[in-house]
Amino acid sequence: MNLVSLINALFFIFYVLLFAHIILSWVRPSPYHPVWGPIIRLVNGVIDPIVMPVRRLMPPMGGLDFSPMVILLLARLLQGVLINLVR
């Protein structure tokens, strides 16, 4: 596995967790559920520390939280920069 593939795999995992965070924020299953609880804690544990600084800078507009979209755009930019640096 080369370095570009590793970068792409790590960012893919991050994107899956970010989209899971978005979907879980809409559905809001109980964090005490025996199946969903550990998944929610894992997703929130990884994504919340990244989203919270952006959320503080950019409060919800009209009840909508756009901070995950900002994180998605920044992650795509960082992924491109890292891949260009490796090549």
Could you give the dihedral angle defined by the CA atoms of residues 58, 64, 67 and 73, in that order, rounded to the nearest 10 degrees? -120
What pLDDT is stored for residue 29 in this prediction?
84
Count of H-run helices and E-run strands, the chain: 3, 0
pLDDT per residue, tens digit, the chain (87 aa), is 699 999 999 999 999 999 999 999 888 888 788 888 999 999 999 999 999 999 999 877 888 889 999 999 999 999 999 999 998
Q: Is 62 helix (H, G, I), strand (E, B) or coil?
A: coil
Q: Which helix (H) or strand (E) holds 9?
A: helix 3-27
For residue 18, count other CB atoms closer than 10 A to its CB: 20
